[in-house]
Structure 1
């Protein structure tokens, strides 16, 4: 008899699980995207009522009653609504998701078979901004900024000298920084692997362009090239200025000679002396000589 009751209890427990489904659901959604929370709805049974609520004081409550064909909404954002018609699929839709939407939600279904509950946990995730740089004192630096949750950072090839730092921001995001410690490494390339629920990224850095010797050579070479270009430009402009002055001098020389030669002719023209002749005439004139 005891064995029969045990078998009956096991069958009943199995039947309840098959009908109700899982009692807890975990949902992770990227910030700005859509979140859909499901209810343990059983389509074969007539729906009497469905209630969505967030488990906190004065939080959102969304309800539908089929016998009155009535929908109620209390303390809910406009971003929270039914995904479909509640009498066909009473899933809750939140779009776009922000940090304030995180928390635990409860969906309660009432039908002819009884009451069914499903608990959901919503977590907002944020993909980090990933950068890979080189520092003279710390070596290669891989940084995953403002991610939620914190990103995991690994290196290729693996380094036993890598260190990590974390900065926690007020909005719940985390910045994680990893240093390889390969300052004087002979490696030509290092790769940073960033793993996160929202994104996976791989960045590579060519260490041959980050050595201090090469930087000095590049800087010196740049300065030498700039000096040569500067001297060349000065010589070009100087030569052009010299040619311009020479050309101007040669073009101005005939004009000055012409003016110089024309000066005597002008003086001769102006040197015609009719007044002198008249004066001599008047000087030699004697009234008595005219009869």
Structure 2
């Protein structure tokens, strides 16, 4: 009877094992990854072990008779999903690129030893930008994505080109170029498609200020020049005005004679009504230099 049950277990497990061997899990970086290890016979197992494909990677096991958990080269991010040993799923959070790879769940029970295989793929969403260069070319870039993002344009153009750069961590940067030098499109749209995200970026082509990268500096220089000329003109106007007021304050030109007798006679004949006589008696030639 026991032999029949063993044979039946092998026959029942064989098709399921083939399905589980191709179990694939894709998780975005930073999220939670759960790898299942089902107990298909619903009987208590003696030992369950999770191991990754590399020999020096994590090994996590639980022995039911001793109620003992063993960890080897496993970080705190890797643990059992549930406390119950009836569902020994593996839990990884937060998942990162270094967790990517193949994992094997080994179950030892009274029915025999069975292996379940899972393949973990970590998805990294790219960083997208849409810029333009000096030769009227739109540049749409999806940086450090895994897998590489797909880039398309609206409207479609035969003048678009694309290149990609591979990084050591497995991510890829794709850059697409769209030229519109001889077209009259009001705008251009970049479409980025990725398993972790879909994004649309729009650029208005009617703003041609980017064709003159030095325009801003030219305007600033012109404004500075106008300001300098205006300041010099105002300075000359104020200086002339000050000299004129100074001359008005001294009175007619005849007062500047150096002859004392003529100065006094003229001063008595034409006496400024607003200034007393002592101002002419104390007159000094330096005042002429100051008012010039």
TM-score by shorter chain over 0.5: yes
Matched, 1:67 2:93: no
After TM superposition, the structure 1 = structure 2 runs for residues 7-86 of structure 1, keeping only pairs within 5 Å, are: 22-42=20-40, 44-86=42-84
Report the CA distance shift for 1:122/1:183 in structure 2 as closer, same or farther (over 3 A).
Answer: same
Name the CA distance, whole Å, in 2 between partners of 1:240 and 1:28.
79
Q: Which moved more, 1:110-119 or 1:189-198?
A: 110-119
Matched, 1:195 2:193: yes
How far did residue 124 of structure 1 move? 2.1
- 1:94 maps to 92
- 2:160 maps to 162
After TM superposition, the structure 1 = structure 2 runs for residues 203-214 of structure 1, keeping only pairs within 5 Å, are: 203-210=201-208
How far did residue 221 of structure 1 move? 6.1
Report the CA distance shift for 1:262/1:130 in structure 2 as closer, same or farther (over 3 A).
Answer: same
Report the CA distance shift for 1:96/1:240 in structure 2 as closer, same or farther (over 3 A).
Answer: farther
Report the CA distance shift for 1:223/1:31 in structure 2 as closer, same or farther (over 3 A).
Answer: same
Structure index of larger Rg: 1
Name the CA distance, whole Å, in 2 between partners of 1:49 and 1:202.
50
How far did residue 247 of structure 1 move? 11
- 2:106 maps to 108
Name the CA distance, whole Å, in 2 between partners of 1:168 and 1:73.
35
Contact 2:81–2:89 under 8 Å retained in 1:
yes
* 3-state SS in 2 of match to 1:97: coil
After TM superposition, the structure 1 = structure 2 runs for residues 213-228 of structure 1, keeping only pairs within 5 Å, are: 227-228=225-226
Name the CA distance, whole Å, in 2 between partners of 1:246 and 1:256.
22
Q: Which residues of structure 2 form unaligned runs of 5+?
A: 1-7, 251-273, 284-292
Contact 1:53–1:105 under 8 Å retained in 2:
yes
Contact 2:60–2:71 under 8 Å retained in 1:
yes
Q: Structure 2 length normalisation: TM-score?
A: 0.69
How far did residue 212 of structure 1 move? 7.1
**CA-atom RMSD in angstroms:** 3.9
Q: How many residues align?
A: 250
Matched, 1:151 2:186: no
Contact 2:134–2:211 under 8 Å retained in 1:
no
How far did residue 231 of structure 1 move? 4.4
Q: Structure 1 length normalisation: TM-score?
A: 0.69
For 1:219-266, what per-residue CA distance to the aligned partner results, in whole angstroms no more than 9, with x for missing partners?
A: 766665565455455556x3795499579969x989998666689xxx
* 3-state SS in 2 of match to 1:100: helix
For 1:28-86, what per-residue CA distance to the aligned partner results, in whole angstroms no more than 9, with x for missing partners?
A: 22333332212113594323321100012222110001111111011222322222215
- 1:4 maps to none
Name the CA distance, whole Å, in 1 between partners of 2:185 and 2:175.
21
Name the CA distance, whole Å, in 2 between partners of 1:215 and 1:58.
55
Name the CA distance, whole Å, in 1 between partners of 2:78 and 2:246.
88
Q: Which residues of structure 1 form unaligned runs of 5+?
A: 1-8, 264-291
More helix by share: 1
Report the CA distance shift for 1:188/1:75 in structure 2 as closer, same or farther (over 3 A).
Answer: same
Name the CA distance, whole Å, in 1 between partners of 2:74 and 2:149.
32
